[in-house]
Amino acid sequence: MKIRKVIFPVGGLGTRFYPITRAVPKEMLGILDKPLIHYAFEEALSAGIEQFIFVTRHGKNSIEDYFDYILTHSDDFSTDRCSFCYVRQSEPRGLGHAVLCAKHLVNDEPFAVISADDYISHDKSCIGEMIQNYDGSNMAAIMNVSKKDVSKYGIMDVEKETDKVVIAKSVDEKPSVENAKSTNAIVGRYILTHEIFDVLKDLKPGVKNEIQLTDALLQMIPTHGLTGFKFEGERFDCGSKEGLLSAVLHVSMKDKKLAGIVKNFCGSLEP
Ligand code: G1P
C-alpha cells in the first residue's frame, strides 16, 4: 500500500536538553553536520513519501528555515514530488495531540509518523520497511528493551508473534516495571489509519496529563488491530544526552578520518 504522507511531531520542549533547547529546537541538534530532523526526512523520502507535515510551535522556526535551504540547495530530490506543510501546536499536549493537529492535512488515507529524536541507523529506511509490510492495521515499530526501562515507553502485550511482527493484545503507555506485560517497546515510527483522528479527538489526557497516542492505539485494537514491527538497525534515543552522544560516535565511526580521531582520543585515555 502506498503511504504518501508523514507527520513529524516537532512541537516538544526538549527539556532534557535545557538550556540549549530554550533557543534551539531539539530536532535541530546535530549528528555531526546534519540535524536530527534531516535524518528523519531522508528516511521518509527514501520510503517514497511525498508530503512532509511538521507539527511545530513557537521557537521552532529554524526547522522551516532549514528546509527552505535544503529544498533550494539539494540535487537529491525533486521539489515537484515533495510538498512541505507546517501546522502549529499551540501548547505541548502530547504525541496524540500533535498528530491530531495535522488531521486536516491528512484527510482519509493511512499515514506515517516519525519522531526525529529516535534516530535509527540502518542501510534501509525503517519506515520504508514498515510500509512494505503494512497490513492495514495501526502499526508501530518495536524493540526489546530491558525490564528496568519499560516505564520510558509504550509497551505492547503479545497476542501472536512471528519473525517480523507482533500482533498486540494490548498496549500500555509507560507502565511501571511491576505492571509491564512485556518488554516490547514502541519507538517513534508509526503507520496509522485515518480513523485514529476520531479517537484522538475525544481522548482524555493520560500519562503526564497528555493526550497519548498509545491510548488511541489501545482503544482501536478491537476494530483496527495493532501490529508491532520488529525493525532492523540500531536505534538511538537522541532526546537524551547519552543517546545523542552515542549516535554521534556511531556515525563518526563510519567515517575513516573521524573514526581515527575517536580511536586516538580513546587511546589517550588509557593508563
Ligand atoms: C513517546 C510515546 C511512547 C514511545 C516513545 C518512543 O514517548 O508516547 O509510547 O514508546 O515515544 O520514543 P515520549 O518519549 O515522547 O515520552
Q: pTM of the entire structure?
A: 0.96
CA–CA distance, 165 with 171 (Å, rounded to integer) = 15
- The CB of 214 under 6 Å from ligand 1? The reply is yes
- The CB of 185 under 6 Å from ligand 1? The reply is yes
Give the whole-number percent of the chain exceeding pLDDT 70.
98
CA–CA distance, 11 with 96 (Å, rounded to integer) = 12
Ligand 1 midpoint to CA 159 (Å)? 22
Ligand 1 midpoint to CA 77 (Å)? 30
Determine the atom of ligand 1 nearest the C-alpha atom of 154.
Answer: 9
In a 10 Å sphere around its CB, with 0-12 CB exposed, 13-18 middle and 19+ buried, how is residue 79 labelled?
exposed
Q: Domain limits of the chain?
A: 5-237
- For the stretch 53-97, pLDDT in tens is 999 999 999 999 999 988 888 776 666 778 999 999 998 899 999
- The CB of 95 under 6 Å from ligand 1? The reply is yes
The answer on pLDDT for 267 being more than 80 is yes
- For the stretch 228-260, pLDDT in tens is 999 999 999 999 999 999 999 999 999 999 999
pLDDT attached to residue 79: 66
- Which CATH number fits the domain 5-237, given the four candidates 3.40.190.10, 3.30.460.10, 2.60.120.310, 3.90.550.10? 3.90.550.10
pLDDT attached to residue 28: 98
What is the pLDDT confidence band of residue 156, given thresholds at 50, 70 and 90? very high
How are beta strands 138-144 and 226-230 bridged, if at all? Answer: parallel
Instruction: Report the residue among 16, 95, 117 best suited for mutation to probe ligand 1: largest number of ligand atoms under 8 A from its CB.
Output: 95
